[in-house]
Structure 1
């Protein structure tokens, strides 16, 4: 029940904020309307307060988001860079992110159904890739028997010296306490929000009649509900991995995130019908092919990076995870390039 309720809170929050709407997302990446970014900054700032308080009170013990490495670039964050870029490109194409695609289904956005189809397909492809990787790792863990008397082979699989510790959070990077790092992040987010509000025309700062800062607070409330009920932060892309594993192998091992996503759809549906003004006036012209391609890229990228705009962008930043900062930067950079190219 806690997954359903937490998901419903997130679905309602996205719907009230208006950031589920394709035109809001696409306009952001065309740099013509900064409603989405203002809502995001508000949600990240509020979530940082909620998560920091939850951790300080001992209600949660959440680790930072780990770096994801593909071994393709000379950095341990290459998975976050590449995955974040794919996520941003997919968002700019489809006008959706993993969480908002589910909200679009609940509200009834036509292009969202196609984006969701591409997202589910990406979940199946990712599940197949993960299964193959597990099989390879299993084979590599079975060493050939060593000849008797060969001391070199006997010592071959013994653990080596511990790896040098590397900073994984903003606090570690700055060499300060988590509380001080959270305060620094909070100040930076609020400063950016203030600067953006001064640069954005008043008419462009409202999504469906709801100011971005109020919409962002709705998402913060969803984060608080999730922390209180599930002892876990919000995130949407893991559900596509779980569903993909079921469709690929037919044996569901986990389903908590799928249940959370079902609640998200229901919450969006309820919010849109309780307040009809929250429903989109008109859907932007996003073709089915573009929606499917974007949906596929955004979920594939989210799984490569280990999280999406909610998992990394809101929850991960709140946990001061360096991997989340890298992922978010890559998402907005690639999304902006694709958005301008399709302008």
Structure 2
């Protein structure tokens, strides 16, 4: 039940913030609407303080996210390539692995195609690509390869507290600059973007208090993949028992639906053209990239950066850089 309630809080927060909308996501990636980045940076910068406090109070034992190697060129090659796929998928679908569940709860048509593509990607990753990468890594001798610093604090030569303060101040400065220099948010923003970011931080707090863990959604598709292969392929061994993240994401659908029913104004969706093929292909790319990188815009973006994880910075940087370049080219 804790997973469902925590997910419902996140789904409701995404709905209230307005960043679930394809128009907001596509507008940001095409540099036309800066609501998403203001919300994201507020949520991430504030969550960094929340996570630090929760760890000090022993409410949370989460460690910085590790790198996701795939055996090509560096310990973080999976973060860079996976992040690039994530960004391309976001641009195609107008969604990310978290917002798609709010879209489903609110009946956004493209979200269903995105979910379908992401589910297929979860099955492909679990049964085919991930085992292939594991065999590749087992054949590569990288024991003596230099390992990059796992946290931004160590990379910058700062204490953790100084790194959190610097990171949060940078996020606040960028939010302020966007608010002053960028176009005003569109009708999708029922609340100011920074307030929307605080709604998401509140959902992070619920997750910490109820589950003792941070927000993240893309691993739910891996759980679905585990079940698919466990049920359909004989001789694969014991069927998987993981389903916590599926429950969390089901709660997100319910939370978005419930808030949309009680506050219809928050559920009003700005029409934007996302072709079914683009949504499905985008869902496939973004989920495959998320699992290759070990997390998505919530797991790496909000939660991973709150832990000052270098892998999260590389993944999210690659995602937004790729989406931004493709958005300009395709726009």
- Which of the five TM-score ranges fits, normalised by the shorter chain? over 0.9
Deviation at 1:198, TM superposition (A): 1.1
Retained in 2: the 8 A contact 1:116–1:292? yes
Helix, strand or coil: the match of 1:98?
A: coil
Aligned residue-pair number: 323
Q: Does 1:172 align with 2:154?
A: yes
User: Could you say which residue in structure 2 is the equivalent of 1:199?
Assistant: 181
Check the 8 A contact 2:20/2:95 in 1, yes or no: yes
**Pair 290,166 (structure 1): closer, same or farther in 2 beyond 3 Å:** closer
Bigger radius of gyration among the two: 1
Question: Counterparts in 2 of 1:270-289, with a 5 A limit?
Answer: 270-289=258-277
Measure the CA separation in 1 of the matches of 2:51 and 2:137: 37
> Is 1:79 matched with 2:78?
yes
In structure 2, what is the equivalent of residue 239 of structure 1? Answer: 220
Q: Distance in 2 between matches of 1:28 and 1:135?
A: 35
| 1:108-187 pair list within 5 angstroms | 108-129=107-128, 132-133=131-132, 136=135, 166-187=148-169
Q: Alpha-carbon deviations, 1:119-178, whole Å to 9, x = none?
A: 1000000011256349848998xxxxxxxxxxxxxxxxxxx9988664200111122221
User: Following the alignment from structure 1 to structure 2, what is the Cα–Cα distance between the partners of residues 139 and 235?
Assistant: 28
Contact 2:119 2:284 in 1 (8 A): yes
> Normalised by the size of structure 2, how large is the TM-score?
0.92
- The 1:198–1:131 alpha-carbon spacing in structure 2 relative to 1, beyond 3 Å, is closer
Matches of 1:79 and 1:165, distance apart in 2: 14
The answer to whether the 8 A contact 1:44-1:313 is kept is: yes
Deviations 1:242-268 (A, max 9, x none): 011111222333111001011111011
Q: Would you say the 8 A contact 2:100–2:115 is kept in 1? A: yes
Match status 1:254 vs 2:235: no
2:191 is matched with which residue: 207, 210, 215? 210
Name the SS for the 1:310 alignment partner: helix
- Tell me if 1:188 matches 2:170: yes
Check conservation: 1:317, 1:325, Cα contact below 8 A. yes
Query: Where in structure 2 are there 5+ consecutive unaligned residues?
Result: 232-238
Q: Which runs of 5+ in 1 are unaligned?
A: 141-159
- Alpha carbon RMSD of aligned pairs, Å? 2.2
Is the Cα–Cα contact under 8 Å of residues 35 and 189 in structure 2 kept in the other structure? Answer: no
1:225 lines up with 2:224 in the alignment: no
Superposed CA offset, 1:167-217 (max 9, x none): 200111122221111111111111111111111223x26634211011111
1:23 lines up with 2:23 in the alignment = yes
| 8 Å contact kept, 1:109–1:283 | no
